[in-house]
Structures are given as C-alpha cells and as structure tokens.
Chain A
Amino acid sequence: MAPASQERPNIRQVAAVAGVSHMTVSRVLNDYPGIKESTRERVLKAMSELNFRPNNAARALASQRSRRIGVMIESAVEFGPGSTLRGIEVAARENGYTTTSIALRDDERMTPQDAVQLLLDQGIDALCVVAPRSSSVSALRKISISIPALVVKAEKDPNFLTVSVDQQLGTQLVVDHLVALGHKDVLHVSGPLDWLDARGRERAFHSRTRSWGLRERPVVVGDWSADFGYEFAQGLDRLPEYTAIFAANDEMALGVIHGLADNGIRVPQQMSVVGFDDLPVARHFLPPLTTVRQDFHALGVKAIEVLHAALENREIPQRSKIPAELIVRASTAPPREAT
C-alpha cells in the first residue's frame, strides 16, 4: 500500500545516515570496486539500522539490468515507421527483452525530451528511436542520454548507433531495373524531403541516374499519400516525355497508377511505375506493383543485436544495413516506342 511504501527507507536516507552521497550507497549495493572498506562498513551499518532492503526495480535501473528497451517513435501512422516498431518489438521478445514504446505526434505537447525522460523513468536499459524526420534527430541531439541509444536511419551518426534498411541499395536496384528494361527518362516522385528516407532515396536516385547518364529531370516532391500520387498523375495534361515513374513509396505508386488510368495512360505499356516498401497489398495492385521490399523483421533483429552488443560492452556489429530486395511484378516493362 502507498503509506507503507512511503515509510520504507530509501537509498537517500541511507546516504544521509551514513554521511555519504547516494551514488556511494549505490556503488556499495552493486559491489563496485574501489570503495574504501571503512566507507563500505558505514553504509552497511546505516542499512541495517534503517532496515533497508534494496528495491528491485530501482536496483535493476541502477545496475542497468531491467532487460527493457524503450522505443520512441515519431509517427506510427506511416507504414515504414509502424513496421519498424513491430520488427523491433518482435526481435526484442525473441531475445528476452521487453519493450516500452512512446509515440510522438505533431499535435501533442510531448517533446522528444519529455518522451525520452518518460522512458528513462521506467528504467530502460537502452533507447531505440524510430525517427524518420531530420527535426526529431536534431531534437534528440540536444538531450544527454547516458544509456546506449540507437537511431533507425540510413545516415551514419557521430552520436548514435544506427541501423537501417539499405535505402541506397533499394533505389539503385530500381534504377538499374528500369535501365535494363531500356528506360532513359525516369521521373522520381519523392517523399517529403525532411524525412530521412525520402531524402536518402532522392539522393540515391539522383546519383544513380546520373551515373547511367539518364536525362536529368526535376524531382516531384510528394507527401507519401496515395491522394498525392493520384492528383499528380490525374493532372497530367498529356502523355509525358518520361517513360517511367519511381514513386518513393507504394501508396503514392498506387495513386499514380489510379491517376494514370483515369487519364487513359496504360501501365506498364505506356508508363512503368515502381514503388518502395512492398506493402502486403502491393501484389494486388492493378497491375501488381514492382517495388522494393524492406525486411522490417531483419531490421528489428539487427537493432536488438546492436543494442545487446552495446549493453554487454561487446564489439558493435559493423554492417548495420539490411539489404533491400527488388520485387519485380507487372507494373514495369520496356519503354513505349518513341513517337
């Protein structure tokens, strides 16, 4: 009951009686080396005087052995971040960890600082952040985090551990596939460029198409939604010069195919369309979508593996990128004959 627990002596009272800091008490409790014998005795005496018994949760927290991983996720609505969270949860369970997750949303008054603090208060061993946008990574940098912290993102980071699905490889596979089919003019519909993955795919597309000497085309910036893809394709007032569209996710690709259909443009005969993610429904698009599969389970396993190594002070696995895989279905074909 609450009153009883209030009366229960805590580590600070022990510290006060022994005349040492609570950190010293904590070190005695956890058998740290380098504590003077006289100090140790004073602390132990104070403990028995107060009838102090260490609280397990607090002890676990102090000794970092809760086997719990905190996950902060910026937005669980989009497919990628949501699937990443699930991948981490499953992999954590398989490795004997539990997870606690907090989702941030733009409209809530929960800052990344608050969320991290809430997780730390629950005595997590390690922090894992699914932060798809650059702003949340920069917010994270301003917080000092004393436990191992991993951010799921493709860009390397000076402060955090990172794992990700290889966005660059996935994009290169798309471009190479289209080039192999004979396309020389490809339009990229990107995600919002403050999303790290959107940026990563756009940059990879830019450099791969340059390497192949494809025509340089301005990128159309989208918002991940099928509606955007639809409105864009539906608004075309003629058959464009480009012969393929690479949408940065499957939902926009779905909208593009719908809009092209309404516009009387046939996929893939007149226009090839490629997505990214491999949504479970991507194989049921009309036509079934050629896309890039991200293995979120493998991503979760890798994240836990890296964090586990960090917690055990072992060497961190070097290769932290999960290969992406191109799934060729029916939405891509050789380009239409030039008219």
Chain B
Amino acid sequence: MRNISLSFPGVRALDNVDLTLRPGEVHAVMGENGAGKSTLIKVLTGAYRMDSGSITMSGVGAISTAAEAQAAGIAAAYQENFLCRNLSIGENVMLGHEIRGRFGIDWPATHREAERTLADLGLADLDTRAKLLTLSASEQQLVAIGRSMVTKPRVLILDEPTSSLDHIEAARLFEVIRRLREQQVAILFVSHFLEQVYSISDRITILRDGRSVGVHETRELDRAELIAKMLGKDLAALKQIGSQRRAHRREPVGAAVFRAENVGSRGVLDPLDIELHKGEIVGLAGLRGSGRTELAEMLGGIRRHDSGEVWVSGQRARLSSPAAGLRSRVAVSTENRREDGLVGDLSVQQNIILAIQALRGWARPISKSERDSMVRRYIEAFDIHPATPDTLVKNLSGGNQQKVLLARWLATHPRVLILDEPTRGVDIGAKVEIQSQIAQLAVDGVAVLFVSSELSEVVRLSDRIVVMKDRHKLGELSNGPALTVDSIVELIAADPSEDEDALTS
C-alpha cells in the first residue's frame, strides 16, 4: 500500500500511509483509538475507497475494489458474529465455497475439504459435522480463521482477534498464526495487547492521527519507544505540564477571588466552605457519588443550594443560573457536554461564540472581525481538528468537541472557571491540549476548580486538592513532592469512627 489517503467529512482519516506486507511475516499495526487502524484495514479489503494512493500485489497488480481484493487473495477473519451458530463447523468453514457434485452440494467432499483446511491450521481435532454453537468462543474464532483460509489467501487480516480470548486460547490462536506464517501467508495483525504483539509479530507499523510514524523490526523496538511513538509528543508533554505546574505553585495570599461559605443542600451535600484564589487550580477529588459534581454544579449556578452564600471578588453573588454565573464571570462546564453544552448542528464557530454572545445580549451582535479572530485564536490554541470554523460540531471527535466547549467558556473571560470532567472520554492528544490550556489559564490568573475522576490528572494539575466523600468535604491537601494518588485514596479510605471529637460531641 503506498501513499494511502482517505478523508471523511471534516476528518482526514488516513494521510499518506505506506504499508508493505511480506510473504511469511506477521505484521502488527499499532496505534491509539482513532489512529486509523480500522480505516486502513477497510481500505485494504476494498470496503472503503481511498481518495488517493495505490495498493499493489506482486503478480496481480493494482487493487481498488472489494472484488479485486478478494480475487488477489486478501481475506479478513472477522469476529465470530459473522459465523452461523446453527450450522455445522464444516458448513461454516466452507460457506459460499461448498463443493458441488452432479446432484448439488457434495457434502462428504465439502466436509473433507473443511477438515483439510482446519488440519492445515493444526485444528484436525475439530469435528466438522458438529454444530458451531458447541464450540467455545475462542474455537469459533479459530473456525472464522479457517473459513477465511479456504480460498488460500496470500494476505490474512486479523483485527483484534484475541480481544475476547483468555491466555491459553490466545496461545492456541498464535499456534495457528505461526503455521500460516510458515505457509508464506502475510498476516496483518491488529491488537491492543502490547505483549501479544511482541510475542507474535515480526514487524510493527505505528499509526498516529492517520499517519504512519514508523515501521520497525519488532525485536529492535523496545516497548517504551513504541508507546512513546503511539502517544507522540503527548507523554513528554504531560510530564512537562506537570513540571510547569509545580514551578508555578505557590501559597495563595490575600483574599480569595471566589468564596463559598456553608454551601450545601439537604440530602445532596453537607454544607461546606471553599475558597478559590486567583491563578490557582483547585482539584475536586472523590469517588462517584461523593458529591463532587453536585458541588461543582452548585458553585456554577446549575444546581440550587439551600444553604450558604457565595462571594466573587468580594461581592456577594447570587448564582441562580449559569447565565447569572457568567455575569459574575463564573463559567461552568459540565460533565455532559452533549446534553448540557454543545449544539451538534451548529458549527465550531457558532458554538464557540454562543456564551459570549449570550452574555452581551443578542441585541449587540459581535462583529465579524472580532468573531473571526476570536474563533481563529481558540482553534489554534486548542489545536482543534479540523481547523475550520464552519465544520458542524457533531462531525468532530469527542476530544475536539470538548475543546470547542472549553473555548466557548474561555471566550467569556471568566475569573472563575469550574470544569467537571473536562477530559473524560477524550483521546490522549486532546487530553494534553486541554490540560495545558487549563495550566495556562492559571498562569493568566483565572481561578480554576477542576473535577476529575482520574486522580493522577488531579494530582498533576492541582495546587490544592479538596477531597470529598459521601457528600461531605473530608479535607484539603496541598500539592507537593510527597503527595501521590495514594494520599487521596488513603484519606478517602480512612475509618471515620476515629474522627469524632470530644468538642463536637
């Protein structure tokens, strides 16, 4: 495969990817979710038409359609759901390739052929006349491979073949793969399991963001290097965000920009105090159900609190709605970006300017030049893909949608930004960009309250961590060299029976 490119509306799925498969090799394709692995396979089998590039097979020539791919000997073994559980093993293997005699299908010959095919794979012990459903999931997987081998393909594609197999079952599958390799079949192996890739593959092609970032002999590529290439700059970037944050960290002095006193709601959250200082990132940690989301929502004006008062920059603020919050320059981004936030049918640009426009009032529209420069700035700052203001948000990946949502709140220039799970469900690249933007906000003097279920992220970003448990505030931890994820876990795990104090009881 040479120079393969393919775009979907708004997304460049494959960008100039080369892939060479040699006879008798197991070639692994590695990459994070969304790197382009599945797309590459679909192009290879002819299921997707590539925009540009070429696929050639020695002795055959160019291939571009599914029929051509099949005729050239490219086969894919799909998961067991492509098999018919009520047919026999032999029927499944030979489906569509039954041997015909003078009076229709010659079943004895068909079963003999199925047996031969399976025996070639080291599966002579399977009874071809038994029903498929008598087999375990892993054996069905092997039958699926057998079925794809009936046509004696030269290229066999295995897409996550071991994802539902246990250790021993996978070992058996690998035996089959090794036999195929001896028979000079080229095997394209896609798997998430690092160790399996290392035990079975001869070469590895690494994809990232639709590009090939390297082809390596497996034995020459060590694991850390592979991971670093899959993640790209991101791993180093995450570390760098962490060290920048540490350098920025200092004890807040003076009055807090945001102060909530005795904020709570009966049955939802025990009354608590919380302060946020200018330029400070405060992490809110706790298990699901600890009240962390409810607190974030109360502070952001999304949820009612029946006790307590809030001051922003020394002024008493009534955060009765997100709009009221925005007027006090408190912005809140919730966990449910799809339900509460983005409008899929609007463009990136429309989504970004939504909040700032609402804040100014619809009677005072934002000028086109102001809008364009604002949108361009955020698309660049967050590295939003695709970098086109007119793309509809629903066509964006989850990570890019999240970036658009963040950009919307940043456009309102908040003093206080409350973020609930801003990196949940986004890929690692988007996570890096979002985290580094949050870190930058602190440098710019915004007070950030950051809720995340990923404690390592909380520890990396926060100056201070408020720990929640069972709808009350357990305490606060200063971030520092001896603080780890375990510190938070242990604090949450501490036995409350020892907490009782003679003064309070």
Query: A residues within 8 Å of B by Cβ?
Result: 134, 154-156, 168, 172, 192-194, 199-200, 202-204, 206-208, 210-212, 216-223, 228, 231-232, 236-238, 240-241
Known: A193-B491, A218-B477, A237-B250. A212 touches B482 (CB 8 A): no
Q: Are B503 and A212 in contact (CB under 8 A)?
A: yes
Task: List the A side residues contacting B491 at CB < 8 Å.
Answer: 193, 199, 202
Q: Are A221 and B477 in contact (CB under 8 A)?
A: yes
Q: Which of B483, B486, B498, B504 contacts A200 (CB 8 A)?
A: B498
Q: State which residues 481-505 of B face A: CB under 8 Å.
A: 481-483, 486-487, 490-491, 493-495, 497-504
Interface range for B: 20 to 34
Q: Are B494 and A199 in contact (CB under 8 A)?
A: yes
Known: A199-B491, A207-B504, A211-B504. A154 touches B498 (CB 8 A): yes
Q: Are B502 and A172 in contact (CB under 8 A)?
A: yes
Q: Are B500 and A207 in contact (CB under 8 A)?
A: yes
| Residue with the highest number of chain B CB atoms closer than 10 Å, among A156, A206, A240 | A206
Report how far A204 CA is from B498 CA in the complex, Å.
Answer: 8
Nearest 3 pairs of A and B residues by beta carbon: A211-B503, A218-B476, A193-B490
Report how far A236 CA is from B249 CA in the complex, Å.
Answer: 11
Taking CB as reference atom, which chain B residue is nearest A155?
Answer: B495
Report how far A76 CA is from B15 CA in the complex, Å.
Answer: 60
Task: List the A side residues contacting B475 at CB < 8 Å.
Answer: 202, 206, 218-219
Decide if B478 is an interface residue (CB 8 Å cutoff). Answer: yes
Q: Are A231 and B490 in contact (CB under 8 A)?
A: no
18 A-B pairs within 8 Å (CB atoms) are namely A155-B498, A156-B497, A172-B501, A192-B482, A193-B490, A199-B494, A203-B498, A204-B499, A206-B475, A207-B504, A211-B501, A211-B504, A216-B273, A218-B478, A220-B478, A222-B482, A223-B482, A228-B481
Task: List the B side residues contacting A218 at CB < 8 Å.
Answer: 464-465, 475-478
Task: List the B side residues contacting A172 at CB < 8 Å.
Answer: 501-502
Task: List the B side residues contacting A200 at CB < 8 Å.
Answer: 498
List 10 additional contacts besides A216-B476, A228-B482; criterion CB under 8 Å. Answer: A203-B499, A208-B503, A210-B504, A211-B501, A211-B504, A218-B464, A218-B476, A221-B478, A223-B482, A232-B480
Q: Are A240 and B481 in contact (CB under 8 A)?
A: no
Task: List the B side residues contacting A192 at CB < 8 Å.
Answer: 482, 486-487
Task: List the B side residues contacting A154 at CB < 8 Å.
Answer: 498
A315 CB, min distance to chain B CBs, angstroms:
23
| Residue with the highest number of chain B CB atoms closer than 10 Å, among A203, A217, A218 | A218
Q: Which of A193, A210, A221, A241 contacts B480 (CB 8 A)?
A: A221
Report how far A155 CA is from B493 CA in the complex, Å.
Answer: 12
Taking CB as reference atom, which chain B residue is nearest A232?
Answer: B480
Report how far A102 CA is from B253 CA in the complex, Å.
Answer: 49
Query: B residues within 8 Å of A by Cβ?
Result: 250-251, 253, 273, 464-465, 474-478, 480-483, 486-487, 490-491, 493-495, 497-504
Report how far A220 CA is from B503 CA in the complex, Å.
Answer: 24
Task: List the B side residues contacting A240 at CB < 8 Å.
Answer: 251
Report how far A235 CA is from B179 CA in the complex, Å.
Answer: 63
Taking CB as reference atom, which chain A residue is nearest B492?
Answer: A193
Q: Are A193 and B478 in contact (CB under 8 A)?
A: no
Report how far A232 CA is from B250 CA in the complex, Å.
Answer: 12
Report how far A115 CA is from B467 CA in the complex, Å.
Answer: 35
B500 CB, min distance to chain A CBs, angstroms:
7
Q: Are B498 and A231 in contact (CB under 8 A)?
A: no
B11 CB, min distance to chain A CBs, angstroms:
43
Task: List the A side residues contacting B253 at CB < 8 Å.
Answer: 238, 241
Task: List the A side residues contacting B504 at CB < 8 Å.
Answer: 207, 210-211
Task: List the A side residues contacting B273 at CB < 8 Å.
Answer: 216
Report how far A210 CA is from B273 CA in the complex, Å.
Answer: 12
Report how far A238 CA is from B483 CA in the complex, Å.
Answer: 22
Known: A199-B491, A207-B504. A217 touches B481 (CB 8 A): no
Task: List the B side residues contacting A210 at CB < 8 Å.
Answer: 501, 504
A57 CB, min distance to chain B CBs, angstroms:
40
A320 CB, min distance to chain B CBs, angstroms:
14
Q: Are A217 and B250 in contact (CB under 8 A)?
A: no
Q: Are A219 and B495 in contact (CB under 8 A)?
A: no
Report how far A204 CA is from B499 CA in the complex, Å.
Answer: 6
| Residue with the highest number of chain B CB atoms closer than 10 Å, among A211, A212, A220, A222 | A220
Q: Are B498 and A219 in contact (CB under 8 A)?
A: no
Q: Are A221 and B483 in contact (CB under 8 A)?
A: yes
Report how far A231 CA is from B250 CA in the complex, Å.
Answer: 14
A134 CB, min distance to chain B CBs, angstroms:
6
Task: List the A side residues contacting B490 at CB < 8 Å.
Answer: 134, 193-194, 199
Task: List the A side residues contacting B503 at CB < 8 Å.
Answer: 208, 211-212
Q: Are B498 and A168 in contact (CB under 8 A)?
A: yes
Q: Are B494 and A203 in contact (CB under 8 A)?
A: yes
Taking CB as reference atom, which chain B residue is nearest A205?
Answer: B475
